[in-house]
Structure 1
């Protein structure tokens, strides 16, 4: 898989791995790279079958496969311990990684994730899937920002959205790859196994997320042994893009607070919750 290593290259530097959502491209994290690179060794990657990571995603593909692929990449890079920050699908990868390789994760951040797919999220995915199958790639890409960003941000960033649309159509991951990845995501159900996750986990939601209702993050935190639920009030599903001025300090504080920790022991304590307004 295509990857980049950025930031602190000292031997004792802690590693932060950034895992993107359904689009799969590491470029999603551009608004966070300068901030994180000043403190950590940062790894971004294009998931198998997306971006520069060419390849065919087979039928029957699972979220467990995505976790194994990331674990394989980290093994190649001789990384035995890291923080994992994942957005939506990337967060689900992180949860599966925490279950399959518990010693690997120093901490986990799941942004707009879930234990089991919400009916609203399923509805949005089905609409997007139908657009792709019945109207083609350009229609799918054109509609995608509606599920990611707040209306006022969409209105104010039309030129950027047009540029993104052209780029995404030109570098589209392929219909079969996307559909198989989407099916893997929709089929994932962690409700019975989340209690086994020992990594300290931040469930990070946004109140105005259209795609993933914020309650799914609260539910996720309740099911985990060692967790917090933090919420922004503005920014939509991709609040790390639309409001990095609020998002970035919250993320950095979590990562710094969980630096140099040993694996968490089972605690079964109730999660804490914080809400962050738009600044």
Structure 2
């Protein structure tokens, strides 16, 4: 599996691992890299069967396997203590790591995650699956930005989106791999397990997320013993891309907070939508 280590490398530097969503690519986190590198050792990776980690995934591929693969990859690089930031599927990987390797995970950040699959999210996934199976890869890739980004951001970034469509089609992870990863994601249910995750957790969500309703983060807040919830009003499912300034501020403030509250905290943030340039 492809892995990249960067940022601070002195003894004692904290390590932050970044885990992407269904796309699986470490490059998803480019808008966060500079600010994170200044304070931490940073790890990004392409998940098995995606990008620069080509492989054919086995039948019955599961979230437990995704977590185990990452744990083994980190151990190969002598990384046995880390914080992890996960977006959607990456957040599920983070929770599974906290359950299976609790001694290794210090803090978790779950971005637009969920406890169990919401009915609306299931409908969105089924639409995307139908596009892939019945129309093809190009249609699936063209539809993907609609689930990730706000409409007003999309309308002013069409050149970028079209370039990404071409890139993602050329480097598509493969229909079989994507479906196996999607099915593993849809099967996740942490409603009976979340109470076992004792580490501090930051929940980040957006009110205008088309794919994952923001109330899913409220369900996580109620289920996790030590969680903090931060809401953004704008940014869509991929707000780390559309509004990196706000996202990075929230992320860094929490990661660098050495006095995290012991009790669950709901920190309502009414951020205004930034101007689009």
**TM-score band, normalised by shorter chain:** over 0.9
Alpha-carbon shift at residue 74 of structure 1 (Å): 1.0
Alpha-carbon shift at residue 9 of structure 1 (Å): 1.1
Alpha-carbon shift at residue 6 of structure 1 (Å): 1.1
Q: Deviations over 1:172-195 (max 9, x none)?
A: 000000000000000000100100
User: Cα–Cα, structure 1 residues 7 and 270, in superposed 2: closer, same or farther, change >3 Å?
Assistant: closer
User: Cα–Cα, structure 1 residues 60 and 213, in superposed 2: closer, same or farther, change >3 Å?
Assistant: same
Aligned to 1:47: 47
Partner of 1:275, secondary structure, is coil
Residue of structure 2 aligned with 1:272, choices 263, 266, 277: 266
Partner of 1:257, secondary structure, is coil
Task: Supply the distance in 2 between the matched residues of 1:31 and 1:15 (Cα, whole angstroms).
Answer: 18
Aligned to 1:212: 212
Aligned to 1:157: 157
Partner of 2:256, secondary structure, is helix
1:136 lines up with 2:130 in the alignment: no
Q: Deviations over 1:132-177 (max 9, x none)?
A: 0001100000000000000000000000001000000010000000
Partner of 2:128, secondary structure, is helix
Task: Supply the distance in 2 between the matched residues of 1:31 and 1:57 (Cα, whole angstroms).
Answer: 29
Partner of 2:91, secondary structure, is helix
Task: Return 55-64 or 169-178, whichever deviates more.
Answer: 55-64
Task: Supply the distance in 2 between the matched residues of 1:159 and 1:66 (Cα, whole angstroms).
Answer: 34
Aligned to 2:118: 118
Aligned to 1:187: 187
Q: Is the 8 A contact 1:202 1:221 kept in 2?
A: no
Alpha-carbon shift at residue 126 of structure 1 (Å): 0.2
User: Cα–Cα, structure 1 residues 71 and 160, in superposed 2: closer, same or farther, change >3 Å?
Assistant: same
TM-score by length of 1: 0.95
Task: Supply the distance in 2 between the matched residues of 1:188 and 1:245 (Cα, whole angstroms).
Answer: 31
1:245 lines up with 2:239 in the alignment: no
Matches within 5 A, 1:32-111: 32-111=32-111
Alpha-carbon shift at residue 199 of structure 1 (Å): 1.1
Give the gaps of 5 or more residues in structure 2. Answer: none
Task: Supply the distance in 2 between the matched residues of 1:75 and 1:274 (Cα, whole angstroms).
Answer: 37
Q: Is the 8 A contact 1:106 1:258 kept in 2?
A: no
Task: Tell me how many residue pairs correspond in the alignment.
Answer: 273
Give the gaps of 5 or more residues in structure 1. Answer: none
1:16 lines up with 2:16 in the alignment: yes
TM-score by length of 2: 0.96
Q: Is the 8 A contact 1:233 1:276 kept in 2?
A: yes
- After TM superposition, where is structure 1 displaced by more than 6 Å over at least 4 residues in a row? none
Alpha-carbon shift at residue 272 of structure 1 (Å): 2.4
Q: Deviations over 1:74-123 (max 9, x none)?
A: 11111111110000000010000000000111100000000100001000
Q: Deviations over 1:42-95 (max 9, x none)?
A: 000000000100101112111111010110011111111111000000001000
Task: Supply the distance in 2 between the matched residues of 1:69 and 1:258 (Cα, whole angstroms).
Answer: 30
Alpha-carbon shift at residue 258 of structure 1 (Å): 4.6
Task: Supply the distance in 2 between the matched residues of 1:133 and 1:91 (Cα, whole angstroms).
Answer: 26
Task: Supply the distance in 2 between the matched residues of 1:246 and 1:270 (Cα, whole angstroms).
Answer: 22
Partner of 1:91, secondary structure, is helix
